[in-house]
Structure 1
Amino acid sequence: MSKRQPITIKEVAEKAGVSQMTVSRVLNKQKLVKESTRQRVEEAISALNYRPNLMARGLAGGRSKLIGLAYYNPSPSYLSALLVSALKHCRDLGHHLVIEDLADIDDGADTSAIVERLSTIQLDGLILTPPLSGNAALLNLIHELNLPTVLLGNTMAVESQSTVTFDDQAAAHAMTSFLIEKGHERIGLVCGPGQHPSSHQRRDGYLGALAEHGLPVEKELILEGDFTFRSGMDMGDRLLGLDHPPSAIFASNDDMAAGVIAAAQRRSVQVPGELSIVGFDDTAIAAAIWPRLTTVHQPIAEMVEAAIDIISQITSSDWDGKPQHMVNNNIQIVQRESLGERQ
């Protein structure tokens, strides 16, 4: 039995009663199509179960970009949200995403060799995720490649590269203040690793909220993890083992917060009856564990989509050559069962 050949754009055009050019315009989300015609084409696409060839579509419109996304991040929850969103948005725009795991940069690998690896791919643009986006040596070498680059999560001033950031400090300040408003005065903090710019921003937000409410900084309540579940469990165990443990613990990401919850459960500490635990990111794990995690919602999907849009613009002929800097200030605290009021 012969295999059914893929549906073509010509068959879609014939079923919709339009030209192939009109179908192409609908697929490329161009605005030069009447709404009634667009609807007819979309109905034909659905009826025929048409799947466009993204490579051919991009080449025909001169829009297809080869975009690299380089990451090194120990948080599987953050990475999952990031990569799924990047893949979907590139697919919607007709771009192609090349994913590069640069974890070897933390193992002492030669930074120039890593850049050489990236240069051989012949990318149109590159997105660097934290902590890579804050690696000065890597940024200097990439700048020499003259490769359009967008940095995620780097709040430092960067002249040559565009940035998309979230106001981590303000968000951590808001979460710490929220805990204080709930009656908590001894609040533990599990920071992220020092090489992550966001770790410092979130710590500063925590410290700023304590100062604003006249609460002392207790060094024994501030510990450093590495954004992994295991480190959250270890740091949570240390905080709960203090002679005077905190009534609330703020972990700098959801994976570590989940680890703190595990540490509390291992010690038979009731959450939130005896201990409140909050996180940061609002990734899938926050709603998957019990009690479900109160956390700061970081717009991960929106940020990586904005980075892809910037690369689409700066690789076009009408770009003015100036890097773009976008800051997302939409701070949302998602309250769930892991947070209780201090009586």
Structure 2
Amino acid sequence: MPRRRGGVTIKHVAADAGVSLQTVSRVINNEPNVRPEMAERVQAAIDRLGYVPLIAAQRMGGSKSRLILALNDRDRTIAGWRNREGTDWVDQMLLGGMLTCGAHGYRLILELVDTHSDHIERELSATIGALQPDGVILTPPHSQDLVILNLLAKRGISIARIGSLTPGPGFCLTMDDEAAARLATGHLLDLGHRRIGFIKGSDDYELSGWRVTGWRAAMDAAGLAADLIEPGDFDYASGRTAAGALLDAADPPTAIIASSDQMAIATLDVALERGLAVPHDLSIISFDDTPIARYASPPLTAVTQPIAAVVAEAVERIIAEQHGARLSIEPKSVPAQLTVRASTSPPRSIG
């Protein structure tokens, strides 16, 4: 009778098959230097005993764990879950990462880390020690955290960094936020807007600055003042404050670009509370394009970020590096797109 699955170890498999622990490890990891009849004997023992390979067994003899770890910001992710506001960034990250990992026989594991914690090294070291990942995908703001980057580099772990160009170990992938902001601003300029406000994202994220740069560049190229800008923190509350400040300006905007869907929804709410018609009195463009943007009333024109594609590329590059490929150190950009919906139109004066 097969043993209980939870009590079976690699030692039981080796004893049942009459082979060494190293041979079992080679079979588990699909290594080529195992005779077919030996592999069949080990696999038969695995099936008979109901053995589930553990990470520790897969690491024997220096073999790969075939695990890729993705780190995301703890506070923002948990806040989104608790408020039931959706976690589309995480969903898209898992979509691109899991499907690509699965196609190569790898697994993706998501961990949440507080980048501002005084215990970040201890916390992350414990996670790395337990999982022994072959590679780590870092999202903002972890992707620019030198403490995290240096810790991973010292352990020889492949690093994929999303949304950061800070000098340091690993390879960088971006969604070209600067170009996306230029694209969004250009859309409003083409509609005839000349007073275009901007709500910035958190300064903890490099991409917040890139978006401001793109907006300013488009305004400057059109010969227009880029003076309508307010700080935000990607959340609804900061969006309300920023939108109110922009609309209270002596010469208020006829359009506002918000650096997140939450801040864009807040802008929409503030506009409607003030009796402004969207889009005829105020056009609104958002970044991210999560479900709340699509189901708003009116649906929001939004920068659609290729999160799944970027994470898929990160996985591909980590796996290629694990197999000895020599990769370019130049940052790679996957462009975002602008999805036009009902929240943008020509300003009332020319509409």
With the shorter chain as reference, the TM-score category is 0.7 to 0.9
Which residue in the other structure is 1:72 paired with?
A: 73
For residue 299 of structure 1, what is the amino acid of its counterpart?
Answer: P
How far residue 101 of structure 1 moved from its aligned partner, in angstroms, is: 0.5
> Gaps spanning 5+ residues in structure 1: where?
1-27, 29-52
Which residue in the other structure is 2:7 paired with?
A: none
How far residue 150 of structure 1 moved from its aligned partner, in angstroms, is: 0.4
CA shift in 2, pair 1:89/1:230, >3 Å:
farther
Q: Residue deviations 1:221-250, cap 9 Å, x none?
A: 211111123322232222223343211000
Q: What is the SS of the residue equivalent to 1:238?
A: helix
The answer to whether the Cα contact below 8 Å between 1:64 and 1:94 also exists between their aligned partners in 2 is no
Which residue in the other structure is 2:345 paired with?
A: 340
> Gaps spanning 5+ residues in structure 2: where?
1-29, 31-50, 81-86
1:176 to 176, 182, 185: 185
The answer to whether the Cα contact below 8 Å between 2:64 and 2:134 also exists between their aligned partners in 1 is no
Q: Distance in 1 between matches of 2:212 and 2:282?
A: 20
- Where in structure 1 do 4 or more consecutive aligned residues deviate above 6 Å? 53-56
How far residue 322 of structure 1 moved from its aligned partner, in angstroms, is: 6.0
How far residue 157 of structure 1 moved from its aligned partner, in angstroms, is: 4.2
Q: What is the SS of the residue equivalent to 1:105?
A: coil
Mapping for residues 324-339 of structure 1, pairs under 5 Å: 325-328=331-334, 330-339=335-344
1:144 to 130, 151, 154: 154
Q: Does 1:86 align with 2:102?
A: no
Which residue in the other structure is 2:164 paired with?
A: 154
Mapping for residues 237-316 of structure 1, pairs under 5 Å: 237-316=244-323
CA shift in 2, pair 1:224/1:280, >3 Å:
same
The answer to whether the Cα contact below 8 Å between 2:288 and 2:303 also exists between their aligned partners in 1 is yes
Deviates more, 1:71-80 or 1:190-199: 71-80
Report the aligned-residue RMSD: 2.6
Q: Does 1:203 align with 2:212?
A: yes
CA shift in 2, pair 1:232/1:71, >3 Å:
same
Mapping for residues 34-49 of structure 1, pairs under 5 Å: none
How far residue 200 of structure 1 moved from its aligned partner, in angstroms, is: 0.5
Q: Distance in 1 between matches of 2:127 and 2:328?
A: 23
Q: Residue deviations 1:111-136, cap 9 Å, x none?
A: 32233133212111100001111122
The answer to whether the Cα contact below 8 Å between 1:71 and 1:129 also exists between their aligned partners in 2 is yes
Which residue in the other structure is 1:320 paired with?
A: 326
The TM-score normalised by the length of structure 1 is 0.75
For residue 96 of structure 1, what is the amino acid of its counterpart?
Answer: R
The answer to whether the Cα contact below 8 Å between 2:143 and 2:149 also exists between their aligned partners in 1 is yes
For residue 153 of structure 2, what is the amino acid of its counterpart?
Answer: H
For residue 303 of structure 2, what is the amino acid of its counterpart?
Answer: V
Which residue in the other structure is 2:134 paired with?
A: 124
The answer to whether the Cα contact below 8 Å between 1:54 and 1:91 also exists between their aligned partners in 2 is no
Q: How many pairs align?
A: 281
The answer to whether the Cα contact below 8 Å between 2:115 and 2:145 also exists between their aligned partners in 1 is no
The answer to whether the Cα contact below 8 Å between 1:64 and 1:96 also exists between their aligned partners in 2 is no
The TM-score normalised by the length of structure 2 is 0.73
Q: Distance in 1 between matches of 2:199 and 2:182?
A: 14
> Highest Rg: 1 or 2?
2
CA shift in 2, pair 1:322/1:331, >3 Å:
closer
Q: Distance in 1 between matches of 2:53 and 2:100?
A: 15
